[in-house]
Amino acid sequence: MADKKMVEEITSMDVDFAQWYTDIVRKAELIEYTSVKGCMAIKPDGYAIWENIQAELDKRFKATGVRNVYMPMFIPESLLEKEKDHVEGFAPEVAWVTHGGLEPLQERMCVRPTSETLFCDFYKNDVHSYRDLPKVYNQWCSVVRWEKETRPFLRSREFLWQEGHTAHATAEEAEERTIQMLNVYADFLEEFLAIPVIKGQKTEKEKFAGAEATYTVEALMHDGKALQSGTSHNFGNGFAKAFDIQFTDKDNTLKHVYQTSWGVTTRLIGAIIMTHGDNEGLVLPPRVAPVQICIIPIQQKKEGVLDKAYELRDKLTQVCRVKVDDTDKTPGWKFSEAEMRGYPLRLEIGPKDIEAGKCVLVRRDTREKIEVSLDEVNVKVPELLETIQKDMLERARKHREEHTYVAKDYDEFKKVFSEKSGFVKAMWCGSRECEDQIKADLSVTSRCMPFEQENISDKCVCCGKPANKMVYWGRAY
């Protein structure tokens, strides 16, 4: 009974999804709350996931020519105010530094909520000629937004992210880079995190403060809510005009640069939890899992058992990330804990197994048990990890497809959102009024105008006027 205690403490996701989520982040030891309201401490098991995300994304960024830099964390108020839409979007939610040491500052500064203004200020001095372009820079850092309601990973006052900021000689090149980075995010989410996404463009209402166009990758969580998982913005030359970033082009004339920015955050860890987790705890896709297989010795006090477990660990280390749970807890407790922590595979090995020259592998995602000869372990484990990775993506895709609906008129639209939860595909006339109406009626927002358009009808789902844009709608985190 005691073995089950840990598991029993998780709220079932069908009973209370929000509580289930909170239980997992705490019991899988991903975060801890702190004395700093709205800010969390990311614990080793949570931070190790972020380190794997960083390493993989950074590799993919660099393959496209991105170089990392570091800008100051402070933005003087006058700098933040240079681009009108941008300051309106961010000023209400920044933290202000007013004193340095014992003295008041001459000009107050905010802690960066995002760094467009700092990069613009930098590019203004760093870009002179077409030879200096493009600039394709990125930074890994933390940013601060003074949110009223916070949730671990999904919305916190401080969060970790990367922000790419680029400058180009032409509008076409900026648009290409914007889409290129969106594709990097989409591929990364699908291939590494096993999270399928819808790629598309945000509406005017939902786009980033100061952008000409915002593109997004949208994922569907287990509870049918949408999660914006990464965004890529094309700024045109609006920021360049506000900050006076000009270069001498090949034709010897002065021109403004065209800019982009793009980012993903620790929110991705929330996406992993809510896409793959179950009532036993976290389920980590093998590629991002800090521990891919956990070896649990059975009757570990019997002679030879622990030795064999360590031998297997040393062998498996060559092909995957492995740990041995050699604590003095019971095997049942260890099983529960391995499930809670989401290790993709566990390996059970006891005296009888050793005698028979085999061990038992248990998949976290399906709980399937597989007997494997000890000689074959180093072949089978990597194969199984690949299978799990693929199956998890397919399962998530199937879940999304089963929770994606179509609505042709407003009655249908309202019916779906009152009875089900998920994405609804519906036509939209392009007016802000319809978006506002839908939000007021149903707390539903436009997630994106997907690149893959379908012709569902020729009328706006809200007002009935002519419409030729299909939009994904949903309730969002």
| Contact residues for a second copy, defined by CB under 8 A | 32, 34-36, 39-44, 47-48, 50-51, 67-76, 79, 92-102, 109, 111, 118, 121-122, 125-126, 137, 141-142, 144, 146, 157-158, 160
What's the token pair of residue 115? 């760094």
Instruction: Give the integer Cα–Cα distance in Å for 457 and 455.
Output: 6
Question: Which residue shows structure tokens 């952008």?
Answer: 211
Half-sphere exposure of 299 (CA within 13 A, CB side): 8
What's the token pair of residue 116? 């467009």
What's the token pair of residue 119? 């990069």
Instruction: Give the integer Cα–Cα distance in Å for 230 and 232.
Output: 7
Half-sphere exposure of 195 (CA within 13 A, CB side): 32
Cβ closer to a second copy: 34 or 330? 34
Q: Closest distance between a second copy and the C-beta of residue 428, in Å? A: 32
Cβ closer to a second copy: 39 or 406? 39
Q: Closest distance between a second copy and the C-beta of residue 122, in Å? A: 5
Cβ closer to a second copy: 87 or 354? 87
Cβ closer to a second copy: 268 or 434? 268
Q: Closest distance between a second copy and the C-beta of residue 420, in Å? A: 36
- 441, 399 Cβ separation under 8 angstroms: no
Q: Closest distance between a second copy and the C-beta of residue 117, in Å? A: 9
Q: Closest distance between a second copy and the C-beta of residue 165, in Å? A: 12
Q: Closest distance between a second copy and the C-beta of residue 322, in Å? A: 15
Cβ closer to a second copy: 272 or 426? 272
Instruction: Give the integer Cα–Cα distance in Å for 38 and 430.
Output: 36
Instruction: Give the integer Cα–Cα distance in Å for 257 and 166.
Output: 10
Cβ closer to a second copy: 74 or 130? 74
Instruction: Give the integer Cα–Cα distance in Å for 320 and 316.
Output: 6
Cβ closer to a second copy: 150 or 228? 150
Instruction: Give the integer Cα–Cα distance in Å for 236 and 1.
Output: 62
Q: Closest distance between a second copy and the C-beta of residue 41, in Å? A: 5
Q: Closest distance between a second copy and the C-beta of residue 58, in Å? A: 9
Greatest Cα pair distance in the chain: 81
Q: Closest distance between a second copy and the C-beta of residue 82, in Å? A: 11
Cβ closer to a second copy: 109 or 362? 109
Q: Exposed e or buried b for every residue in 90-126, given b needs 16+ CB within 10 A? A: beeebeeeeeeeeeeeeeebbbbbbbbbbbbbbbeee
Q: Is 285 left (phi over 0), alpha (psi -120 to 50) or beta?
A: beta
The sign one gets for the Cα dihedral 371, 373, 377, 382 is negative
What is the dihedral angle through the alpha carbons of 451, 455, 456, 460, rounded to the nearest 10 degrees?
Answer: 80
* 370: helix, strand or coil: strand
Cβ closer to a second copy: 78 or 443? 78
